[in-house]
Amino acid sequence: MDSLLNRRTLLQLGPAALAASAWPSAWADPNWPSKPVTLVVPFPAGGGTDAFARPFSGQFAKLTGKQLVIDNRGGAGGNLGAGVAAKAPADGYNLFMGAVHHSIAPSMYPRLDYDLEKDFVPLVLMAVVPQVLVVNPRKLPGDFKAFMEAVRKAPGRYNYGSAGGGTSHHLAGELFKIQTRTFITHIPYRGAGPALQDLIAGNVDMMFDGLGSSAQHIKGGRVKALMVSGAKRNPSFPDVPCAAELGLPDYTVTTWYGLWAPKGTPAEVQARILEEVRRIAATDEIKTAWQSNGAEFPNVTGAAFGSFVNTEIRRWASVVKESGAKLD
């Protein structure tokens, strides 16, 4: 009742009083979270984003006593879900877990119904993983040298699945083709989860996946990892060689995942969200889950994360231009 009276008083006093008041604070929930929070994950279950969102959601509920409800909205290389999240109420009860794909999208999609830099508030960079070349061991050799011989011997015979056109999986595949001078057909899916299921079933031959979504399938022997990107092996998969030692020193593609809120989310609520993220990141459960997925949980938040995203958008624009990658 008091808050309602205060708002009425402000309205009666006119625009000057409204401008002088801390208007966002009037709408901020001082007891956030006082109800369930929705987290839009712009890919189907079983993909890389989901592999980090699920354990994060579990710890959120455990520490806050409120549910973090995952809303999987797959489609258009992660852009459908991003568009939905951008239009959600900016009240702290709607969050978005995007990825590197959303920094690539402006260079691949001529018309997006959201702007990552203008429609969202960057909160935190949550995970970074290398890209990994995984194959169906029933269809391709489990050794990189033998794999390359097979691919070079039959241009166009083999294919790779991706999480969708314009995703890091797609760009990683195109860069691999350029750097190895091979021809492999791209097959886009509505997320890494469906692509991985078809890889396991033998309907596609390989993927240039983010390690987060492939990790458990590699450990379970359902797919075979031939290479991780970059100049060093991943500590969680020490037996998998890195690109540099296989003669591809410039193959440095990584996948990252981050947390955003819709633009206009009150600063006080943003601060509370980050406080909870830090508490969640410090739990043994999250440390174990991230390590199991071959990931790091970087301490990059707020403006620093926003600056990182801006740099990534410009970097990927250059990669797209140089590679000539296009939507299939």
Angstrom distances, CA of residue 56 to CA of 40, 124, 221, 289: 13, 13, 26, 9
* Residue 61 CB neighbours (<10 A): 15
Give the tens place of pLDDT for each residue, 200-225: 999 999 999 999 999 999 999 999 99
Residue 140 lies in a domain: yes
On whether the CB atoms of residues 248 and 200 are closer than 8 A, the answer is no
CATH of the domain at 54: 3.40.190.150
At 146-180, the pLDDT tens digits run 999 999 999 999 999 999 988 999 999 999 999 99
**Number of domains composing the chain:** 2
Q: Are residues 115 and 134 in the same domain?
A: no
Q: Is residue 82 part of a domain?
A: yes
Considering the domain boundaries, does residue 310 fall inside one? yes
d(CA 259, CA 229): 24
Domain membership of residue 192 as a residue range = 130-246
- Asked which of 199, 228, 246 is the last residue of a domain, the reply is 246
The model's pLDDT over 57-96, given as tens digits with 9 standing for 90+, comes to: 999 999 999 999 999 999 888 999 999 999 999 999 999 9
- Quote the percentage of the chain above a pLDDT of 70: 91
Average pLDDT value over all residues in the chain = 90
Give the model confidence (pLDDT) of 231-241 as tens digits: 999 999 999 99
> Same domain, yes or no, for 242 and 142?
yes
* Strand locations in 76-119 (E): 94-99
What is the model's pLDDT at position 312?
94
Last residue of a domain, one of 246, 270, 299: 246
Give the pLDDT confidence score for residue 259 in this predicted structure.
98
**153 occurs within a structural domain:** yes
> Could you tell me if 211 and 300 lie in one domain?
no
Q: Are 200 and 193 in contact (CB under 8 A)?
A: no
29 three-class SS: coil
**Domain of 175: which CATH number?**
3.40.190.10
Instruction: Assign 5 a pLDDT band (cuts: 50, 70, 90).
Output: very low
Whether 186 is covered by a domain: the verdict is yes
Residues 118, 41: one domain?
yes
Give the whole-angstrom CA distance, residue 235 versus residue 301. 25
Considering the domain architecture, whether residues 122 and 268 belong to the same structural domain is answered as yes
- Same structural domain for residues 259 and 231? no
pLDDT band at 139 (very low <50, low <70, confident <90, very high): very high
Give residue 2's pLDDT: 38
Is the domain of 61 the same as that of 110? Answer: yes
Residues 92 and 166 both lie in one domain = no
On whether both 37 and 122 belong to a single domain, the answer is yes
160 & 119 share domain = no
DSSP 296: B
170 and 266 co-located in one domain: no
Q: Quickly list DSSP for 119-174.
A: SEEEEEEEEEEEEEEEE-TTTS-SSHHHHHHHHHHSTTT-EEEESSTTSHHHHHHH
pLDDT of 126 strictly over 60 = yes
pLDDT in tens, 280-324: 999 999 999 999 999 989 989 999 999 999 999 998 998 888 878
Please report whether residue 6 resides in a domain: no
- The string of DSSP letters for 191-253 reads SHHHHHHHHHHTSSSEEEEEHHHHHHHHHTTSSEEEEESSSS--TTSTTSPBTGGGT-TT---
Last-in-domain residue among 189, 219, 246: 246
The reply to whether 103 and 155 lie within a common domain is no
Residue 328 in any domain: the answer is: no
Question: In this structure, is residue 20 part of a structural domain?
Answer: no
Q: Are 173 and 25 in contact (CB under 8 A)?
A: no
Question: How confident is residue 28, by pLDDT bands cut at 50, 70 and 90?
Answer: confident
* pLDDT of residue 246 exceeding 80: yes
Q: Which of the four pLDDT bands, split at 50, 70 and 90, describes residue 110?
A: confident
Alpha-carbon span 41 to 78, nearest angstrom: 8
Q: With bands split at pLDDT 50, 70 and 90, how would you rate the model's confidence at 27? A: low
- Whether the CB-CB separation of 69 and 107 falls below 8 Å is answered with no
